[in-house]
Amino acid sequence: MGKLSSQSSRTELFAFDEETTDVVLCVEDKKLHLSRGVLMQASPVFRKMLAPDGKEKQNEVTLPDKPHEEVVLFLRCVCPMEYVKLNEGIIDVVLPLAKEYQVNSLLQKCEDWLLTEIEFIVGKVAGHVKETQTMVEFFAKCLLYGTKNELESLYNRAFELLVPYNLIRYQNTKFYKLLPDKIKWQLLEARLVKIEKTQCIGDGSFPEENEYVSE
């Protein structure tokens, strides 16, 4: 994967601004100056972290064990003064943070992008055509992301698209290995049911079930 994103037009990201910044996030000993209100509106986790709750407001919060570059990219996706055009590599980075900090707007944007990319791939839109193996691995990634981040539409679409493919195509991918056992069994069961109904072992597609009539 190349660079996570293009450079912002601003010379320094999240620099101190006397008029708009009132809280500091410390990441890898680097300070990011932000608006408390923006963070609290975007994330219930930040709201709980930054709300005074009868005590003196916290003006500086440390986020331990987080790579600075990834947090900056995540915050650029959250803050209204920044614009980040999503792509697969960026989603790989920001989706776990969006889930951790419960930023529903960003979770939805990531899901929408992945669902759109799936339809482009399935429709063989120019610039989105993938070899079969690469395509199946992308579906497995989407199934994992849908599972881990509770993205129901993404989960359902990826599950549906994986069922027709032979297990050997994706069982050794890191995405499949990270799936809960329950999901693996459901995927296998759905494929076996399809094979029984169509009397066909498909790899990529099954015949329409109504073409087969039980004896």
One-letter amino acid of 185 = W
- pLDDT per residue rounded down to tens, the chain (215 residues): 444 544 444 447 899 888 888 899 999 999 999 999 999 999 999 999 888 764 556 788 999 999 999 999 999 999 988 889 999 999 999 999 999 999 999 999 999 999 999 999 999 888 887 898 999 999 999 999 999 999 999 999 999 999 999 999 999 999 999 999 999 999 999 999 988 887 777 776 666 755 444 44
Closest CA to 42 of 101, 114, 108: 101
Residue whose pair of structure tokens reads 């329409």 in the numeric block: 208
Query: Given this model, what pLDDT does residue 173 score?
Result: 92
Got the DSSP string for 102-113? T-HHHHHHHHHH
Query: Given this model, what pLDDT does residue 5 score?
Result: 46
Cβ 14 vs Cβ 34: under 8 Å? yes
Query: Given this model, what pLDDT does residue 206 score?
Result: 64
pTM: 0.86
Query: Given this model, what pLDDT does residue 2 score?
Result: 42
